[in-house]
Amino acid sequence: MERTKRFILSEQEIPTQWYNIVADMKNKPMPLLHPGTKQAMNPEDLFPIFAQEVSKQELNQVDAWIPIPEEVREQYKVYRTTPLVRAYGLEKALDTPAHIYFKNESVSPVGSHKLNSALAQAYYCKQEGTTNITTETGAGQWGTALSYAAKVFGLDLAVYMVKVSYEQKPYRRSLMQAWGAQVIASPSMSTQSGRKILTEKPNYQGSLGTAISEALELAMQTPNCKYTLGSVLNHVTLHQTVIGLEAEKQMALAGEYPDIVIGCFGGGSNFGGISFPFLRHNILGGKKTRFIAAEPSSCPKLTRGVFHYDFGDEAGYTPLIPMFTLGHTFAPAHIHAGGLRYHGAGSIVSQLIKDKLIEAVDIDQLDSFKAGILFAQTEGIIPAPESAHAIAATVNEALKAKEEGVAKTILFNLSGHGLIDMTAYDQYLAGDLTNYSVPDEEIKKNIDQLEGLGS
Ligand SMILES: *Cc1c(COP(=O)(O)O)cnc(C)c1O
């Protein structure tokens, strides 16, 4: 019998609304707090930093559905809808009774899911009369997506790129420059927060937290300039729900419904994007799907962090966010999944973990690359090192299903491809990569510093 491998929707079926899970959550996330006054933030408090529309989306706890602007949907048509693929090759290699599906977000022009939010954020900035935007980028994925989106909507962009990635991933820098962005290695001497860190630690290789501080500082000091963020915040995850909403229709085409949904976890946007549309049926309709966030064991905020108010950045400029965190002073090891090197988790996901509606697992670097290679050999796509964490978690669940002899249906998000991460694969294949485990004392030291930040 002929079997279907790729489940495709026409572009007319690109969602017209994003899904805001907060409206359906019984326990809402705790409020963001102003870092100075420790009072709950209103949308107006965010206007100096973010576009007004995304500030409102950020704190919206009422509307389950938010319309996607026609101009944004029009740009989504460049690469959406993305395929849902049945991973027959991977299933066969694992000899598992599980049915494995993946949503392929790597087909976007920039190679990852990040464009889903970049286009929305650039659009709102343009609408509101902003001319310049700033951001930070870790592995370069967010900066790349925003560069393209800024070009599409006619904005000037300055990107602070974590220094270790600036050096390890020169092609991401080239992509950003090709789309017209200015790229600065962080920490840099161009901001006060950058200069402070460089004075204390001249060889510091940078972190997402530091780069965020620098980008925020520039945005606050430049007229007509707004800051944008590629993960962690609620509005970013909201924009990413197009992934899960499409996947829901495509799983129906396949005649299945997932028992398990898996995403890799940096700040939570691609995980939330694929999960929340399905999680709504757990919350509202009595479904029993499991949701698994796969984080690196070198940066284990969900599995070993604490739930506490913390800053989103290292210098303490952002609002205080109620999050699972390792502390904003935590400096993760230089693993190749740069997009997962972040100390905290978004407030929605953190509340959902607290309420045991979703789960988390940690994955060693070597296991992630092993799974990445297996996926490349069986499904043809070199996954991003970040996405390889989701694949490793999927492999573990598929092998468990085999042991138990049950035909589980597993859906994971392929958040990006790894064609610009081949130096990482080179090092893995040469046997030069290692695992990084974080000692308990290291975690405790950083978490102890959270005292007094609000609870
Ligand atoms: C940025 C990135 C991630 C991690 O960010 P989330 O907000 O947790 O999704 C994962 N995969 C890829 C390919 C990325 O670029």
Question: What pLDDT, in 10s, does the model give residues 227-278?
Answer: 999 999 999 999 999 999 999 999 999 999 999 999 999 999 999 999 999 9
Alpha helices in 203-306 (DSSP H): 208-221, 234-253, 269-285, 301-304
109, 76 in Cβ contact below 8 A? no
SS3 257: coil
Given a cut of 80, whether residue 297 has pLDDT beyond it is yes
CATH code at position 177: 3.40.50.1100
The rounded distance, in Å, linking the Cα atoms of 8 and 79 is 12
105 and 153 fall within a common domain: no
Q: What is the pTM of this model?
A: 0.96
Residues 252 and 163 in one domain: no
Q: Does residue 112's CB lie within 6 angstroms of at least one atom of ligand 1?
A: yes
Q: Pick from 145, 1, 171: which is nearest to 76 by CA?
A: 145
Q: Are residues 432 and 287 in the same domain?
A: yes
Helix (H) or strand (E) holding 166: helix 163-168
Query: Looking at the predicted structure, is the pLDDT value of residue 406 above 90?
Result: yes
pLDDT single digits (tens) 64-90: 999 999 999 999 999 999 999 999 999
Residue-wise burial string across 226-236, b where 16 or more C-beta atoms lie within 10 A, e elsewhere: bbbbbbbbbbb
Classify residue 444 as exposed, middle or buried by CB count within 10 Å of its CB (0-12, 13-18, 19+): exposed
SS3 122: helix
Question: Mean of the pLDDT values across residues 200-223?
Answer: 90
Residue that finishes a domain, picked among 172, 194, 229: 229
Q: How far is the CA of 145 from the centre of ligand 1 (A)?
A: 12
Ligand 1 pocket mutation pick from 106, 107, 114 by most atoms within 8 angstroms of CB: 114
What pLDDT is recorded for position 455?
64
CB-based burial of residue 48 (10 Å sphere; 0-12 exposed, 13-18 middle, 19+ buried)? exposed
- Residue 63: its pLDDT value, please? 98
Give distance in angstroms: CA of 253 to centre of ligand 1: 27
- Whether residue 433 sits in one domain with residue 307: yes
Confidence label for 324 from pLDDT (cuts 50, 70 and 90): very high
Task: Determine the residue type at 281.
Answer: H
Do 352 and 299 lie in one domain? The reply is yes
User: What six digits make up the tokens of 221?
Assistant: 């000091």
- Whether a cis peptide bond, with omega within 30° of 0, leads into 81 is yes
Q: Is 265 near ligand 1, meaning CB less than 6 Å away?
A: yes
Residue 151, in any domain of the structure: yes
Report yes or no on 202 lying in a domain: yes
Average pLDDT (160-169) is 88
Q: Peptide bond before 187: cis, by omega within 30 degrees of 0?
A: yes
Q: Does 249 lie in the same domain as 168?
A: no
* pLDDT of 147 strictly over 70: yes
Looking at this protein, which amino acid is placed at residue 107? V
pLDDT at 314: 76
Question: Do 99 and 119 reside in the same domain of the chain?
Answer: no
Residue 434 in domain: yes
Domains in the chain, number:
2
Q: Ligand 1 centroid vs 390 CA: distance in angstroms?
A: 11
Cα separation, 209 vs 194, whole angstroms: 11
Q: What is the residue with the minimal CA distance to atom 2 of ligand 1?
A: 339
Q: Whose CA is nearest to atom 1 of ligand 1?
A: 339
Task: Tell me what percent of the residues of the chain surpass a pLDDT of 70.
Answer: 100
| Top mutation candidate among 113, 117, 169, 239 for ligand 1, by most atoms within 8 Å of CB | 113
Residue nearest to atom 14 of ligand 1 (CA): 339
- pLDDT for the residue 390: 98
Q: Is residue 205 part of a domain?
A: yes
Atom of ligand 1 minimally distant from the CA of 138: 1
Asked if the model's pLDDT at residue 207 lies above 90, the reply is no
At position 232, the amino acid (one-letter code) is V
Q: Is the dihedral of CA 251, 254, 256, 258 positive or negative?
A: negative
| Domain finish residue from 229, 263, 286 | 229
State the burial class of residue 2 (Cβ atoms within 10 Å of its Cβ: 0-12, 13-18, 19+): exposed
How confident is the model over 333-360, as a mean pLDDT? 92
Residues 307 and 261 in one domain: yes
User: How many other C-beta atoms lie within 10 A of the C-beta of residue 448?
Assistant: 10
| 242 to 9, 67, 73, 115, 393: CA distances (angstroms) | 13, 12, 10, 11, 23
- The answer to whether the beta carbons of residues 337 and 353 sit under 8 Å apart is no
Asked if pLDDT for residue 312 goes beyond 90, the answer is: no
Among residues 366, 389, 421, 368, which one has the least CA distance to residue 165?
Answer: 421
Mean pLDDT along residues 49-58: 97
Among 220, 200, 222, 204, smallest CA distance to 212 is for: 220
Q: Is the pLDDT of residue 335 over 90?
A: no
Beta-bridge mates of residue 321: 310
- Ligand 1: does its nearest atom lie under 6 Å from the Cβ of 267? yes
Residue 194 and residue 259 in one domain: no
Rounded to the nearest 10 degrees, the angle between the axes of helix 385-404 and helix 365-379 is 80
pLDDT digits (tens, 9 = 90+) for 361-404: 999 999 999 999 999 999 999 999 999 999 999 999 999 999 99
Ligand 1 touching residue 239 (CB < 6 A): no
Indicate whether 84 and 165 sit together in one domain: no
Could you tell me if the CB of 338 is within 6 A of ligand 1? no
Tokens of 308: 């506490």
**Is residue 286 exposed (0-12), middle (13-18) or buried (19+ Cβ within 10 Å)?**
exposed
Last residue in a domain, options 209, 229, 249? 229
Q: Which domain holds residue 91?
A: 5-14+68-111+235-445
Cβ(387) – ligand 1 distance below 6 Å: yes
Q: Average pLDDT, whole number, for the chain? A: 95
Q: What is the DSSP letter of 84?
A: E
Domain identity same for 185 and 326: no
CB 262 within 8 A of CB 232: no
